[in-house]
Amino acid sequence: MLIDLSKASRINPDSSNEFETKVLDFIKEWFSESKTIKVQSSGSTGKPKVFDIEKSKMLNSAEMTCDFLGLKEGDLALLCLPIEYISGKMMVVRSISQQLKLKIAQPSLKPLENLKEEIDFCAMTPLQVENSLDKIHWIKNLIIGGAAVSETLKTKIYQTLQRSNSQTQIFETYGMSETLSHIALKKIFPSQEDWFTVFDGVDISLDERGCLKIFAPKLNAEVLQTNDLVELKTEKQFRFLGRLDNVINSGGAKIFPEELERLIKKEIPNEAVFLGIEDEKLGQKLVLVVEDKRYKMQGLTNDDLNPELQNFKSQISNLKFEKSFHKPKEIIFVEQIPRTPNGKVNRSELRQLVKEMTHGLQ
């Protein structure tokens, strides 16, 4: 389905599936007399919640992104994210704000599978990009959000686009439901940046814990206090270290799992997550969970790995870590790491899965 949002008042297409119907329902809700829209949070850092957001503030957010990327009336955008969440809703709002043409694709791991034309703007999750590398050169401006972009994926993106001589621009995003999608971008291609840069009109600072505080009055009247540990370079640039909730305390040493994950993903192509599992001596034992389709549970334990996975485990065990306590005490394989509906790793569910697999690993 293709919707021309410059003619929104005359939109009356027939939907062919449930997702298209949901998108049309949202557009109808947007042009209603209500001044607010209901948005559901992802639930990646707590219980999902539904809250009301002012349409005017969503338009402010849309304009920030469109201005930054230089999007203009008549450009073609692609929606391939769930419309229930802020990420999907904001793709529609950006299209309305800038009078874009909006192509609707069913959210899936391969949203570009049937793509046959150039797209000016698209937002995707890392998993979607991973499964669409053969088509991303068709997109002029691509933003990736919902989860961190691994070093392995960055390398794949660079190698793929270098071969195609693509003019594509790709950015990693930082944001949340409360900031109406992203408030900062970090370029991945054609050059690669180390620091997120916040939009104009957004102020950042640190609290006493070293966590990011955000004041973006055009988006939210309140100062937003996050549990994201960051390092500030300037008043407009920061580097994400990890979530305070995820910090692992092992034998008195504080470990940031996200930093270790970024490092190990430079060495192995698999999804990998560091967890802290309760331990009598250490308080928390550092465990590395690696996703590999070759491992199928079916009554097996990680002691029963086939020779291929045993060799892979040995390879991971031999990786060098900066500090001795960064080396995982256990390496555990799972066939699939649990994720939230919008693609983020569900650490609490994964922790429970690991405990069940290891019969209460202590």
272 closest CA partner among 284, 260, 249, 289: 289
Looking up tokens 């849309």 gives: 62
111 closest CA partner among 359, 350, 343: 343
63-76 pLDDT, tens digit each:
999 999 999 999 99
- Identify the CATH number of the domain defined by range 247-357: 3.30.300.30
Strands 119-124 and 76-79: parallel
Q: Is the peptide bond before 217 cis (omega within 30 degrees of 0)?
A: no
Q: What is the pLDDT of residue 140?
A: 96
| Radius of gyration of the chain, Cα coordinates, nearest whole angstrom | 21
293-322 pLDDT, tens digit each:
888 765 666 777 888 888 888 988 888 888
Q: What is the pLDDT of residue 342?
A: 63
Strands 76-79 and 169-176: unpaired
Rounded Cα distance, 181 and 219, in Å: 10
Domain boundaries of the chain, sorted by first residue:
2-202+232-242, 247-357
Length of the chain: 362
223-240 pLDDT, tens digit each:
999 999 999 999 999 999
Q: Is the pTM of this model over 0.95?
A: no
Q: What is the mean pLDDT of the chain?
A: 88
Q: Which CATH class is domain 2-202+232-242?
A: alpha beta
32 falls in which pLDDT band (50, 70, 90)? very high
State how far Cα 287 lies from the chain centre.
Answer: 23
Q: What is the mean pLDDT of residues 150-164?
A: 87
Rounded Cα distance, 206 and 230, in Å: 8
